[in-house]
Structure 1
Amino acid sequence: MKTTTRVAVIGGGVVGASVLYHLTKLGWSDVMLLERSELTSGSTWHAAGGFHTLNGDTNMAALQGYTIRLYKELEELTGLSCGLHHVGGVTLADNQDRFDMLVAERAKHRFMGLETEIVGPDEIKKIAPVTNVEGIIGGLYDPLDGHLDPSGTTHAYAKAARMGGATIETHTMVKETNQRPDGTWDVVTDKGTIHAEHVVNAGGLWAREVGALAGVYFPLHPMEHQYIVTDEVPLIRDMMADGIEHPHVMDPAGESYLRQEGRGLCIG
């Protein structure tokens, strides 16, 4: 294992692999990722994999739009599949305040070059026929919405990063991060110590604990995300027979979403 590196990324989920890839894309080839187990063994492996551009923060929305477009580029670069399903998605509004918020979001999307549309209940029913539109004022339709395979995407990022010169060390647990007087870091692992100019905390569920190794407290708390996968749904089965995949449906008021999973639905 290398004993020196310019950047040490701690955490082998989709975020850590993405950071590693983007560092190499910017020309930082002397970088490495440290993962205590296998890539995606944290929260990434059981993520639902949905992606969308709707975000209250303009910069985050633009970043999400960039990332969605990046997935096809990753597939072409690495030859690995991200399991992309660009099915589109509708975010529902059941009151005027939420609908006004979606109208404002659409205006921001236009400014950012994102092609979203405001739709009424009848249009929602045509786009996403499984949706119960009772009490729904309208929604925001985004053709970029969809879902992917989190594991496949992580490995695509990892391969692209390796192609750019990065190193990935799995089954390597970080035990300490000690800063030297010159600002660089000694990253102590169960396989030896690595001297790094910079350390990136991509610990996911354990980001708070990784920060604590450096004496930094992050007010983070892992939250439960529950979802169910249904048996076959006749409507979904019939749409599949016509070569159509059901779009995502997001319901902020109900704090829930649904998407197609096989011949049924994933509801979370």
Structure 2
Amino acid sequence: MVEHVRAVVIGGGVVGCSVLYHLTRLGWRDVLLLERSELTSGSTWHAAGGFHTLNADTNMAALQGYTIRLYRELEEISGQSCGLHHVGGVTLADTPERLDMLKAERAKHRHMGLETEIIGPDEIRRRAPLVNTEGVLGALWDPLDGHLDPSGTTHAYAKAARIGGATIRTHTPVLETNPRPDGSWEVVTPGGTIIAEHVVNAGGLWAREVGALAGVYLPLMPMSHQYLVTEEVPEIVALGREHPHVMDPKGESYLRQEGRGLVIGFYEQDCRPWAP
């Protein structure tokens, strides 16, 4: 028997489960998510989990601001913790040009209703005492910055989507996506064929391969990204509060508190491509 649904979402990471949840918020009940393994089994489970509103694209910044505010509501709907840590964050500027850019971002945020501010070196040290401000001219402070548990957040989206009427099937790889003359799609799985009005590619690391099933080439290449988790840091223990996020664009690095230590990540220029 061929199954019919309004939409199929391929991929059970945080993006796929968010799309599924938002479809139910729009009143779509006949929606289905297919995941080849378990939810969060791609890149979601080991993401660093940071969130912020700073983005050169106004629409993306607004979307990020909306999502950050959504997490509390999501916890209430699902009863599932997202592991939220709203600690605030600083983005550092070491040149007049970068500081001007952050000032422009602040002006944009004001227009969007986001309460960021420009702070100087003394205030940076007060709020983020681990930061060495030598050569730093200022920073953008964003009180919405923080981090969460990516796995917990994904499961919160999934549970809220199920409450809204959606269906999730794990251990169900998609083998083919074939267009039909009426504009719908055949989604072929080991358990049978599903006819969907719409198909959403939320394959993450495998988005290129999912696109190829439909004959679409997506110029995507997942890249390896490293971060390290420290042991207990005495300065963190002595602080008595959670240290804010710190983003250093010049150093292409970031840090945040993890337990009684730190997570420190780097965006390497000479990074290695990763492809399944």
TM-score by length of 1: 0.98
Q: Percent identity?
A: 79
Corresponding residue SS for 1:174: coil
- The residue type paired with residue 259 of structure 2 is G
Partner of 2:179: 179
Matches within 5 A, 1:146-165: 146-165=146-165
Listed one character per residue, the Cα deviations across residues 239-265 of structure 1 (whole Å, up to 9, x for unaligned) are 2xx3x1000000111111000011111
User: CA shift at 1:91, angstroms?
Assistant: 0.4
> Quick check: 1:34 aligned with 2:31?
no
Partner of 1:195: 195
Listed one character per residue, the Cα deviations across residues 95-135 of structure 1 (whole Å, up to 9, x for unaligned) are 11111110000000000000000011111111100011111
> Quick check: 1:262 aligned with 2:259?
yes
- Are the aligned partners of 2:89 and 2:143 in contact in 1 as well (CA < 8 Å)? yes
Corresponding residue SS for 2:101: helix
Corresponding residue SS for 1:205: helix
Q: How many residues align?
A: 265
Partner of 1:211: 211
User: CA shift at 1:2, angstroms?
Assistant: 7.7
User: CA shift at 1:225, angstroms?
Assistant: 1.3
Structure 2 Cα separation of the partners of residues 23 and 97 of structure 1: 41
User: CA shift at 1:203, angstroms?
Assistant: 0.3
- Are the aligned partners of 2:2 and 2:193 in contact in 1 as well (CA < 8 Å)? no
Runs (4+) of structure 1 moved beyond 6 Å? Answer: none
Partner of 2:47: 47
Listed one character per residue, the Cα deviations across residues 123-174 of structure 1 (whole Å, up to 9, x for unaligned) are 1111100011111111100000000000000000000000000000000000
Partner of 1:126: 126
- The residue type paired with residue 259 of structure 1 is R
Structure 1 Cα separation of the partners of residues 220 and 159 of structure 2: 30
- The residue type paired with residue 265 of structure 1 is L
- The residue type paired with residue 264 of structure 2 is I
Partner of 1:102: 102
Give the gaps of 5 or more residues in structure 1: none
Structure 2 Cα separation of the partners of residues 177 and 52 of structure 1: 35
Structure 1 Cα separation of the partners of residues 33 and 2 of structure 2: 11
Structure 2 Cα separation of the partners of residues 83 and 194 of structure 1: 35
User: CA shift at 1:94, angstroms?
Assistant: 1.0
Listed one character per residue, the Cα deviations across residues 198-254 of structure 1 (whole Å, up to 9, x for unaligned) are 000000000011001101111111011100011111110012xx3x10000001111
Listed one character per residue, the Cα deviations across residues 159-199 of structure 1 (whole Å, up to 9, x for unaligned) are 00000000000000001100001110000112111100000
TM-score by length of 2: 0.95
Change (3 A) 1:14 1:45: same
Matches within 5 A, 1:71-150: 71-150=71-150
- The residue type paired with residue 205 of structure 1 is L
Corresponding residue SS for 1:227: strand
> Quick check: 1:169 aligned with 2:169?
yes
- Are the aligned partners of 2:90 and 2:245 in contact in 1 as well (CA < 8 Å)? yes
User: CA shift at 1:72, angstroms?
Assistant: 0.1
Partner of 2:271: none
> Quick check: 1:14 aligned with 2:42?
no
Structure 1 Cα separation of the partners of residues 57 and 71 of structure 2: 22
Structure 2 Cα separation of the partners of residues 84 and 41 of structure 1: 21
- The residue type paired with residue 83 of structure 1 is G
- The residue type paired with residue 35 of structure 1 is E
User: CA shift at 1:37, angstroms?
Assistant: 0.2
Partner of 1:66: 66
